[in-house]
Amino acid sequence: MSFNRIKKRWRALFRRHEVERELEAELRFHLERDTAENLKRGMSPEEARFAALRSFGGVDQSREECRDARGVRLLEEFLWDVRYGMRMLAKQPGFTCVAVLTLALGIGANTAIFSVVNSVLLRELPFKNPDQLMWVWSNRSDRDKAPFALPDFLDYRDQNQTLEDIAAFSNIGLSLPGNERTERLQGMRVSADLFQLLGVEPSAGRTLLPEDDDPAQRHVVVLTYESWQRRFGGDPRMVGKTLNLNGEGYEIVGILPQRFDLPNREAELAIPLAPDADPLRSERASVNFLRAVARLKPGVTRQQAEADLTAVVARERQLYGEAYLKKTGVQLVPLYEEMVGGVRTGLWVLLGAVGLVLLIGCSNLAALSLARASARHHEMAIRKALGATSRRLVRQTLTESLILGVLGGGAGLMLAAWGVRFLLALNPTRLPREQEIGVDLRVLGFAVATSMGATLIFGILPALQGARTEMLGELKASGRGAGQSARRNRSRSLLVITEVALSLLLLICAGLLIKSFMRVQAIEPGFDPTNAMAIRLSLPQVGYPNREATALFCDKLLARIQALPGVEAVGAVSILPLSPGIRSVDFSIAGKALSPGDTHVSRFGMVTPDYFRAMKIPLLYGRPFNHHDNANSVPVAVINETMVRRFWPKGDAIGARINIDDNNTGPRPVEIVGVVGNVKHLSLESDPTFDVYLPIAQVHNDGVGVFTNGHYWIVRFKTTSQEVEAAFRGELQNVDRDAATSNIKTLDEYISDSVAPRRFSLRVLTIFSVAALLLAATGIYGIVSYTVTQRTSEIGLRLALGAGRSQVFRLIVGQGLKVVLVGVALGLIGALAMTRVIRSMLFGVTPSDAFTFATVSLLLILVALLASSLPARRATTVDPLIALRNE
Amino acid sequence: MKKQKADLLQGTLELLVLRLLRSGRFNGWDIMQRLQLVSGEVLSVTPGALYPALHRLEDRELISSVWGPSENNRRAKYYELTDKGRKQLEIERRAWERFSGAVALILRDA
């Protein structure tokens, strides 16, 4: 279309009056000329004018056709429809508010969840060529996906042929001295080329560079964006400053970008790994603490690289034998999968659930719109009589729905932007890629598409109804033609059936999750969490080079804490059950021939003698540790029930010996002196594990670092936790001022936190289900209410003819119930098919749990009965005389 | 059939208007007078049909308009042919000649 035509169209739309005046002038000119000619021919003024008009041939029609020629008819009509629609909506503020609110909530919730799904699942990772990036796991005979040791990493790095680069990392705790106390930060040791490998640009300063791995260089560190903001206030002068970490100076050389998380999301900073100078680099049996990310060479497949690295492990096994007996190879997992695989199901389920709620909301709106449309039948009939085409009427009704859709969608989008932040703040665990979540074009597109879709769903039915208006019938009747009502009622019934079925589906899912949650909460953790608190402690490595020093510290602190009033028992352990972090150790039964199948893995705890009493972990046989178990006596161990049942089914574990591999040289024997009850380590839902405990005084010096790095003190108290905490801190200062505390929580809190993610998704799904239930109930109320209004005269007739009021009540409720039962039946069928989708989120409950299905169905039917009974009661109060008179 | 006839009439009318405007700039009334002169009783063209035709032609950018004073010093809308209109006229004229020639041929033989 040329520029001129656009100008003309614009003028026709927005300078309508001018254009109309011109048209008038042009036609008037013609008529006046003709009139003048007629006058000249001798006619009278009236005759002249009349003749001119007659010979013109239909001025009004001509005018209309000239208007058509302007080419903006559709747009003009649309703008008119919009104005008309807004007027109509303003006339019924109740309906408009309900509609816009429903849409805003529905579209907002959907857009919010979608923006999370988009950023976490759909968007590509924010790295260079992300499909070349792989997470590196070590495969072992007893478990897949394990971390590996430093020498292994060096071998992978130096001997591979398929990788462009590989970078390893591990967690590390670092002490940061402060004015009041020393704080313990979570950090990471990373290969200095990690950031280059990923393709990450700093937000200030620089990232780590390969040369930083050289220990001859000065110590450098990079901060995460969040840490920089939270701890240092985003001060731009931080780059260049030096931090005192673990007693040494580290220069801050840069800040990582805002939308980037280190592999450990809680870590605040990263220091170079410096593997080539690490003392463990030649210790083949050293602790497996590293994970890595690798970039494939272009053209190399994952399988090829896996085979390549597994060959490296095979070579290691040939050269170094024993230390690599259990290491079978390497597994590569695409980085994307590793990062988001765990939350995928949950997020899609959430999106599905919220989509269902929107559908139900739209059904309600459709029913409301239908009721509204039938009230306007007169208006439609008149317009049709005046020449409006069916298509035009449909367009007009749809435009009205469109206005609602746009208003609701706009409000929903704003709600989504705010709501996402709110939801994320409530979420107890951080989502992967949470930093990247935001509204982008795709989210916007989703919001628009959802608005349009919703508009179509609730707008199409009343639009079609409006078009089907029969002129004469409508104009004559009082607006209640029987044929029309029956069809409309059927549409409405169908809507309610759909709503009921969808709500049932959601409610069943919520019910299954609730049952799972209750099952999980009922699990015994293996210890008594009431009136006990755990304090995480870190000791400076410098002051505690060996187990003697560590044991001495523990004894001193133990004595002081035990002496406090209000303290019932106190103990310490290297890793607390239900806290993040695992410590495992390989062991084998002494006296059996060694082959790969004979080494097993157990959880490993270094404890003070009173630990079991402090935690109230029951002692089943033998004895706990005591002060005679020290560096000079026989090395002893305590194991748990599961282990005894597996290896000493006859129960003669006491006195038996096992070889444990808790140091860098090789396994050493310990004697079993006691057996305690099982304890849940990773989560309440996890399977039973083997547990091996050693007394602090007897741990290998190689393992002391792990203990001093971070361990937990358990204090069982009789007073309040605050008092105990304050007292503990005070005593700690007296023993060692440089010890750093962190994570002070009660054991009850640890248990609660361990189920927090499950609780959160349960809460969200329950909110959606309740919303769906309310919407469905409203829908049922609406339809029954409308039926009552429609059939007022019939009810009046029945009552006049002698029907009892309770009969009428039962009649109305029965009709509503019929519809609901059909919906419930459909919903149950749907649920049977669909609940397997959430199977991975359930615990101790099958996806077709009969109890849940039955209870939820009953609940829904009860609510439906309630919703129907209200208008039904209204029916019973109908005065037959008034009703009949209105006929 | 009626619609076809109307379309045919509409197309013919527009062609005639283009032809008339080739000789100069005229307002609607002038065009009406000339049309009646030229076609006489054969084509019953009313002003009611002419003005929409003029507006359609203007929308298609085949003619352009400008307001100016008429003989009796009243303001009137004057139309004239555009270059595009000139070209279209030539195309249509040739098409019409071919068409009427073919019809004449058929009718003669029959």
Closest chain B residue to A12 measured between Cα atoms?
Answer: B59
- Whether residue B77 and residue A26 make contact (CB cut-off 8 A), yes or no, is yes
A627/A323 Cα distance (integer angstroms)? 34
| AA identity, residue A830 | G
Give the Cα separation of A341 and A332 in Å (integer): 14
- The angle formed by the CA atoms of residues A588, A591 and A593, to the nearest 5 degrees, is 75
| Range A139-148 burial, b when 16+ CB lie within 10 A, else e | bbeeeeebbb
Q: Which of B29, B48, B59 sits opposite A58 (nearest CB)?
A: B48
Q: What is the largest CA-CA distance in chain B?
A: 55
Nearest residue of chain A to residue B69 (CA atoms): A29
pLDDT at A690: 92
Q: Which residue of B has its CA nearest to A56?
A: B47
Sequence-ordered list of residues with C-beta below 8 angstroms from that of A692, at least 6 positions apart, any chain: A585, A587, A602, A603, A604, A605, A637, A638, A639, A643, A658, A660
| B56 touching chain A per CB within 8 A | yes
Which of B51, B67, B74 would you mutate first to test chain A, the one with the most A CBs within 10 A?
A: B51
Phi/psi at A577 (5° precision): -60, 145
Q: Is B36 an interface residue toward A (CB < 8 Å)? A: no
Cβ distance A30 to B70 less than 8 Å, yes or no, reads no
- 3-class SS shares of chain A: helix, strand, coil, % to 5: 60, 15, 25
CA distance A782 to A66: 48
- Name chain A contacts of B72, Cβ cutoff 8 Å: 36
Is B47 part of the contact surface with chain A (CB cutoff 8 Å)? Answer: yes
Stretches where chain A sits below pLDDT 70 are 1, 180, 466-488, 592-597, 883-884, 886-887
Cβ contact A26–B76 (<8 Å): yes
Q: Which of A29, A32, A35, A37 to mutate to test the interface with B (most CBs of B within 10 A)?
A: A29
Q: Do A25 and B58 touch (CB under 8 A)?
A: no
How far is B110 from chain A, CA to nearest CA, in Å? 38
- Interatomic CA distance for residues A710 and B47, integer angstroms: 99
Size of interface A-B (CB pairs under 8 A): 65
Contact between chains at A25 and B77 (C-beta distance less than 8 A): yes
Over residues A649-696, the pLDDT tens digits come to 887 889 889 988 887 777 889 999 999 999 998 888 888 889 999 999
- Looking at residue A472, its pLDDT comes to 52
Using a CB–CB cutoff of 8 Å, tell me whether B9 touches chain A.
no
| First-residue to last-residue Cα distance in chain A | 59
The 10 Å Cβ neighbour count of residue A73 is 12
Q: How far is A29 from chain B (nearest CA, A)?
A: 7
Rg of chain B on CA atoms, in Å: 15
Predicted model pTM: 0.76
CA distance B78 to chain A (A): 10
- Portion 68-97 of B in contact with A at CB < 8 A: 70, 72, 74-77
Spatial CB neighbours of A81, under 8 Å, sequence gap ≥ 6: A395, A396, A399, A400
CB atoms A29 and B52 under 8 Å: no
Which of A262, A266, A282 has its CA nearest to residue A169?
Answer: A262
In the prediction, which pLDDT does B3 show?
56
Give B-chain residues touching A57 at CB under 8 angstroms. 46-49
ipTM comes to: 0.86
| Beta-strand pair A248-255/A220-223 | parallel
